[in-house]
A and B are shown apart, each in its own frame.
Chain A
């Protein structure tokens, strides 16, 4: 592993930083929080012009086919401005799932329009309430006219309200073993019988409940099914948890920068507060947490690109990012004092962002359980990493 960013990664970092810092002020992020679209059409178009939606889309489908680490570099920058909106569910989770699937037709239908920013995605496998696994799949599919009828409810779908398509996992009811009984469907959100209720999270309207009542899916909407499906979905989900960690690291890095700048500028008792050991220790702890979280995250990303990341690696990454970012958030607030508690400051924006992110794609306890399972099982599950198309 080369611990320096490549030329390409540096380019991504620079262009992302200048675009994001120029376009996503705190005010804009806070306004976006209460707006269901999460990101203005102009911002979305600009981001797609920069090629961001295409970053993980394979080249053969008009994509850039960047490495997973490239994606992490971009996401870290997005975390630095607490970027709201549908980028993550569309260009990360949605794309990672589709990359795994063999269905060429679906890829031809969806990938180019994702890459060009024309469509947005959401993913509904489980309720995303910490219960993850084939037995917690929330929809059912039964044979209907020319295809299937989908039913069920997912209580919490990131970006469900914004998506043009939701990738829905469903039980087919053909086999007792959940793992073998799953199919993945593409469901257009304008289908009759599909109902979405936006949810107000601590970080604004960024998820919704999705209810399907006899929603028709044609055989062309069946993306994949069978024994091999669940492991692929799991793989994409754990990779997305690593991606979520990158966003968190970006936010935490900004918190530390803000806190250190404040510690140098703010004077009390006739000296910069940064000269007090209590403050120095907060800052040193924050840097230790940040560095450990960041390099664990990039190392795991690199393992993913090498095709060597285990489920444990990915779970450990999210565990540590959750824990480290929680402490960084607390210490950041401490160093800022009262001013960091005012909504006019950046800290509350990061509070909201991180408090949601720490629960997305698996909370700490969920991932600890995964690590324990794999650690104690005879044959640790070796999920292979990046699958080349």
Chain B
């Protein structure tokens, strides 16, 4: 058994250099622009290109497509180092959700057209799966693509397409054949997000991030933008969702806020003693630290499997289940520790920890819903993971 994922000198060297780069280049402003709420601002775009220029964004991809060699462990390092710095990998949807599917299933033309620009940090994608009446049940989606010679004409509505207001491309799932069983009539396309006929309407969320409704009115999309085989979109979507579940959470992301919380308990008095001397508080803190460590063990194990070349199946669902509910327990405990002061928002006078805990509490509501609800994921773990009857 070996939990030491960064085994080679080369990999360790990569981690050290990347970490130094992030220490130097990341600013709070860039981190904010990369978290999903605001979308890419000019500073974040510039940062993405700078990172792209180092070749590190393409680690794990073949050189032929703008990558710089390396393995899945380099991808792991990339994601973990960003999380440790409380930032998100720029253009994360393109790099970790759509890109891998293009790499595996895209035509040579599509790979050449998109992968190098993803690796260079130039472009971002937005996931276009969900429709108002198709959430968990994606196979029921209705948005149509009608064959029209060398292109398709697309009409319909998507909802909760989070990056659409700033992304360059829409990773769009549509029905290309209405006459076959549901799963067999869906295809994936890469559409210019700014194409004529697309209207984007913002949706405000509890967590403060923006997401969108996206309307298509007879949008023409060339057939060259079809991803992989016609009517195979549902399976590619499932694959991309697997990557998404793996990449959505990193336990290490909770470590810096946890450390700040610990410092807060060491400097805040209540009831005539420091919070950290209160047995309830100590117990909460110990539990939180334990759970973060458990999530890290699960993550390491998932990547160890990938490193050996085993594709993940229910493991990524299990990991997402654990990590998402862990973050919710984390905020519950943190709010219990902090009391009313913990409910003060960032823009308030006297908000401890700059309101980060209450913000996380609002944002973590979606953790057990987006990217597959916990109910759906539990069924996946039960059926695919343990062979229980459907």
Binding site for B on A (CB under 8 A): 128-131, 133, 135-136, 155-156, 197-203, 207, 209, 267-270, 276, 278-279, 326, 330, 333-334, 337-338, 341-344, 347-348, 351, 355-356, 358-360, 363-366, 368-369
Contacts and interface: CB of A to CB of B under 8 A. Distances in A.
Interface in B369-384: 369-370, 373-375, 378-379
Contacts of A131: 270-272
Nearest to B370: A338
B264 to A, nearest CB: 12
Interface in B340-358: 340-345, 347-351, 358
Given A355-B361, A363-B339, A341 B207 contact: yes
Contacts of A267: 133
Interface of B: 130, 133-137, 140, 159-160, 203-207, 270-272, 280, 328, 332, 335-336, 339-345, 347-351, 358, 361-362, 365-366, 368-370, 373-375, 378-379
Query: A-side binding surface: helix, strand, loop or mixed?
Result: mixed
For the complex of A and B, the 5 pairs showing the least CB-CB separation, nearest first, are A200-B348, A130-B339, A268-B137, A278-B375, A348-B206
21 contacts: A131-B270, A155-B350, A197-B350, A199-B348, A199-B350, A200-B344, A200-B349, A202-B362, A203-B343, A209-B349, A268-B135, A334-B368, A337-B135, A338-B130, A338-B160, A341-B205, A342-B205, A342-B206, A343-B205, A355-B358, A359-B335
Nearest to A204: B345
A355 B374 contact: no
Contacts of A203: 343
A358 B343 CA distance: 10
Contacts of A200: 344-345, 347-349, 351
Contact of A202 (B272, B345, B374): B345
Contact of A343 (B130, B206, B350): B206
Contacts of A347: 206
A197 B350 CA distance: 10
A341 B366 contact: yes
A364 B344 contact: no
A334 B375 contact: yes
Contacts of A368: 280
Given A133-B271, A202-B358, A355-B343, A334 B205 contact: no
A337 B339 contact: no
B378 A130 contact: no
A270 B345 CA distance: 42
Nearest to B207: A341
B373 A202 contact: no
A344 B203 contact: yes
Contacts of A338: 130, 135, 159-160, 366, 369-370
A136 B336 CA distance: 19
Nearest to A271: B137
B349 A197 contact: yes
A334 B373 contact: yes
B365 A351 contact: yes
B136 A129 contact: no
B68 to A, nearest CB: 37
A199 B341 CA distance: 10
Contact of B339 (A202, A334, A359, A369): A359
B340 A359 contact: yes
Contacts of A344: 203-204
A129 B137 CA distance: 45
A347 B349 CA distance: 26
Which of B160, B280, B348, B374: most chain A Cβ within 10 A? B348
A156 B373 contact: no
A344 B201 CA distance: 13
A228 B344 CA distance: 34
A123 to B, nearest CB: 14
A359 B344 contact: no
Contacts of A270: 137, 140
Which of A128, A198, A202, A366: most chain B Cβ within 10 A? A202
Contacts of B140: 268-270
A199 B349 contact: yes
Contacts of A130: 270-271, 339-340
Contact of B369 (A197, A268, A337, A363): A337
Given A200-B348, A201-B345, A342-B205, 9 more contacts: A129-B270, A131-B272, A200-B351, A333-B369, A343-B204, A348-B206, A355-B358, A356-B340, A358-B335
Which of B349, B370, B379: most chain A Cβ within 10 A? B349
Contacts of B133: 267
Contacts of B368: 333-334
A356 B375 CA distance: 28
Contacts of A343: 203-206
Nearest to A356: B343
Contacts of A348: 205-206, 362
Nearest to B132: A339
A201 B206 contact: no
A341 B369 contact: yes
Contacts of B344: 199-202
A326 B332 contact: yes
B204 A136 contact: no
Nearest to B378: A278
B342 to A, nearest CB: 7
A351 B204 CA distance: 15
A218 B358 CA distance: 41
A135 B342 contact: no
A130 B341 CA distance: 9
A276 B134 CA distance: 16
A349 B362 CA distance: 11
Contacts of B272: 131, 135-136
A338 B136 CA distance: 10
B328 A330 contact: yes
A270 B378 CA distance: 20
Contacts of B369: 333-334, 337-338, 341
Contacts of B362: 202, 348, 351
A264 to B, nearest CB: 15
B206 A341 contact: yes
Contacts of A360: 340
Given A129-B270, A342-B203, A363-B336, A337 B345 contact: no
Which of A129, A131, A330, A358: most chain B Cβ within 10 A? A129
Which of A136, A200, A276, A333: most chain B Cβ within 10 A? A200
B202 to A, nearest CB: 10
A227 to B, nearest CB: 21
A77 B364 CA distance: 29
A129 B206 contact: no
A72 B135 CA distance: 39
Contacts of A197: 349-350
Contacts of A155: 341, 350
A205 to B, nearest CB: 9
B382 to A, nearest CB: 11
Nearest to B204: A343
Nearest to B269: A131
Nearest to A155: B350
